[in-house]
Amino acid sequence: MPSNPDVILNSIDILNFKNIASATLEFSNGVNCLLGMNGMGKSNLLEAIHFLCMARPMNPLPDNALIRHGEEMLIVKGNFASDSGNADTIACGITKGKGKSLKRNGKEYRRFSEHIGRYPIVTVTPGDSMLISGAAEERRKLMDMVISQADAEYLAQLIRYNRSLESRNRMLRAGVRDALLFESVEAGIIDAAAVIFATREKWITTIAPKVEDCYARLSGQRERVEIAYASQLKGKSMAELLEERRQKDAILGYTSAGIHRDDIDTRLDGYSLRKLGSQGQVKTFAIALRLAIFDFLKEAGASTPLLLLDDIFDKLDSHRVENIMHEVTGNSTFGQIFITDTNRKHLDDILAGVEGPCAMLNVKDGAFSPINIK
């Protein structure tokens, strides 16, 4: 079976993105290391790359929060290529008072959803521990972001579900009692929920063994993890859930059951990882989950995703750090990689294990300068 072509970000132009006033950068098509102290702009560059690929930042921020302080607009433009010969220029901008624009080769997208999945991307960030310790909403967002990159129909049904759900909630808050009107709105919820449930269930079944195997490698076989899908639709249909909670929902003013209450259960040696896992175990699991997602997207799509690794070594013991380095640099599965760290030795050790092209940039106050590594 032929391997997927790698998506490569050849270069990026940034104007007024967070603390980056202006930057034009060219990248290696292999491993790119970003060195600098905290707060200098390493993560902001990764955020800009994510912004290009997903039309949204890595972190849940309002659009205007991405614009550099004192400025009215931002622009991020990237030149993408693949080893299959395709090339694209993507430009994503935000203007205060006007909103967001997204263009491919100079042509505006009709809908932002058309862009999702064109340039698959996987990020590992310090905030990923919230995927385990945070609210269920964090894990649902993860499922939606990942599956949407591989399945356009899933994204369409998710949009349909959320719109229908909001309509039903507005009716509940307004005290609407028209049964036919509810039936019409709920038809969209029921149909979309069936697709979303089946797709999420299949995704968890696919990714669970990948997570478990990757965690075993990263931890040095010290512990065993499990991941499972938790959904109210495992016991009842969406139609049954809506019907049995109709009176309760009318009192509450919102829809209290459904696919929007789904969760992912994570366990370590049979116990709740969220409740009993150490910081190192939680972070190791989050990294294993993201790397498993990388494998999923590569297998499901037409391209090898970009991989962004932001400050991944913090709170990990030396054995796990070594295992992660080996996982990333000793694996031909990965394509273009971006890694940030405050520690030059960590980055030097990574590059020492890289056989292909690589580069390193120093980052200070939103400015970037090349570092000679060979």
Q: What is the pLDDT of residues 19-39, one digit of tens each?
A: 999 999 999 999 999 999 999
What is the per-residue pLDDT for 314? 78
Contacts of 224 (CB under 8 A, 6+ apart): 212, 215, 216, 268, 269
Summarize pLDDT for 144-162 with one digit per residue, the tens: 999 999 999 999 999 999 9
Global pTM reads: 0.89
CA dist., res. 212 & res. 159, Å (int): 31
Residues in the chain: 374
Cβ atoms of 47 and 57 closer than 8 Å: yes
Which position has the higher pLDDT, 54 or 5?
54
Q: Which two tokens stand for residue 304?
A: 């090898």
CA 252 to chain CA centroid, nearest Å? 32
CA dist., res. 360 & res. 254, Å (int): 51
What is the CATH superfamily name and number for domain 135-300?
RecF/RecN/SMC, N-terminal domain (1.20.1050.90)
CATH topology of domain 1-120+304-374: Rossmann fold (3.40.50)
What is the per-residue pLDDT for 4? 60
Cβ atoms of 347 and 33 closer than 8 Å: yes
Give the pLDDT mean for 323-347.
83
Specify whether the backbone of 16 is left (phi greater than 0), alpha (psi in -120 to 50) or beta.
Answer: left
Give the pLDDT mean for 348-373.
89
Cβ atoms of 274 and 211 closer than 8 Å: no
State the burial class of residue 114 (Cβ atoms within 10 Å of its Cβ: 0-12, 13-18, 19+).
middle
> For residues 156, 157, 158 and 159, what is the CA-based torsion angle, rounded to 10 degrees?
50
Task: Assign 5 a pLDDT band (cuts: 50, 70, 90).
Answer: low
**Residue 167: Cβ within 10 Å count:** 17
Give the pLDDT mean for 36-45.
94
Q: Which two tokens stand for residue 326?
A: 């080996």
Cβ atoms of 360 and 371 closer than 8 Å: yes
Domain assignments of the chain as residue spans, ordered by start? 1-120+304-374, 135-300
CA dist., res. 292 & res. 312, Å (int): 16
Q: Which residue is listed with tokens 């090339």?
A: 87
